[in-house]
Amino acid sequence: MLEQYIGATVMFIMAIGIACGMVFMTSVLGPKRHFAEKMEPFECGEKQIVSPHQRFSVKFYLVAVLFVLFDIEAVFFFPWAILFKKLGMFGFVEMLFFIIILGVGLCYVWIKGGLDWE
């Protein structure tokens, strides 16, 4: 039962290992010369002008929400793509309706200017 996951587990462990290893190794092996300017947040070599703790504009929020919605839409495509041939015409038509309905949504968002960066 669990044997089927061995490959995935090994890959997962290696990925974590390499990522963590790289961070760890650089912090151990890398040269360390700290001075005040270097420890500041990087702003193209300029002196820091504003605090990094700034509030984002609310327009990011709209983009994020729309991203989530279309992401969920995309999720439905995975099983559909795999089953496409088996489902035949019926599967094609039902996905067509699904896309048309969401296409209306995309049209709406687009023309209303939801994708514009005001």
Residues in contact with other proteins by CB under 8 A are: 1-2, 5, 51, 53, 55-56, 58-62, 64-69, 71-73, 75-76, 78-80, 82-83, 85-91, 94, 97-98, 101-102, 104-105, 107-109, 111-114, 118
State both tokens at 72.
């969920």
- Considering the complex, state which of residue 24 and residue 57 has its C-beta at the smaller distance from other proteins: 57
DSSP state of 40: S
Alpha helices in the chain (DSSP H): 6-29, 59-75, 77-112
Collect all residues with Cβ–Cβ distance below 8 Å to 108 and sequence separation of at least 6.
114
Q: Which is nearer to other proteins, 24 or 76 (CB)?
A: 76
- Residue nearer to other proteins on the CB measure, 35 or 78: 78
